[in-house]
Amino acid sequence: MEFQSENELYSYFKEGLNKVETHLENEYASIRAGRANPKILDRVMVNYYGCMTPLNQMSNITVPDPRCLLINVWDTSAFKDVLKAINEANLGLTPSDDGKAIRLVFPVPTEERRKELVKQAKALLEEAKVSMRNERREAMDSIKKMKTNNLLTEDSQKLAEKEVQNILDKRTKELDELFAEKEKEIMSV
């Protein structure tokens, strides 16, 4: 992409880093740590009259207690389809129903399972860091292109590269803090 100024480049770079961080936050929200979290159902799609519909758009999802989700389907004719979609989503949970509502009970994860979840969170963190480094590489290439197009002097090129690195270091630290929070949440009993 062609940039006319350093500020334009910085804002585009920050926007890319924001997308990476938001993606990581969404991935972390779907990791279940033994507590009921409605976000785990965000990816569940139900075949509703021949159209794939997100579960959260056709039901009310509540958390009656810390280890249980209660799903009230608005259209009772779609009840069986919702049950089927939850089972096919491989959430690691078995839904129980009373004909009117569906309950998902979250078992307390074992120590081994918690360590496995931390490894999964760490892998997601590393993927996010790789994405951020790719954003940095693109920004550095744009800075070099701006230099060759005589939009930057050599000194301002060095300053721009340093600023991009500073922005990346700050955002990487934020990702590490996000991981530390998630690790603490997973490992707490």
* Mean pLDDT to the nearest integer, 156-170: 94
DSSP state of 98: -
- Share above pLDDT 70 across residues of the chain, in percent, rounded to a whole number: 98
CA-only gyration radius of the chain, Å = 22
Q: What secondary structure does DSSP assign to 114-144, as a single string?
A: HHHHHHHHHHHHHHHHHHHHHHHHHHHHHHH
Tokens of 97: 């129903």
Q: Which pLDDT band, with edges at 50, 70 and 90, does 18 fall under?
A: very high
DSSP 3-state helix, strand, coil percentages of the chain (rounded to 5)?
Answer: 60, 15, 25
Rounded distance between C-alpha atoms, residue 163 and residue 160, angstroms: 5
Considering the entire predicted model, what is its pTM?
Answer: 0.72
Residue ranges and CATH numbers for the domains of the chain are 6-30+110-187 (1.10.132.20), 38-105 (3.30.1360.40)
Helix (H), strand (E) counts: the chain: 4, 6
Residue range 70-108, pLDDT digits in tens: 999 998 888 889 999 988 887 778 888 888 899 988 887
Please give the share of the chain, as a percent, with pLDDT higher than 90: 46
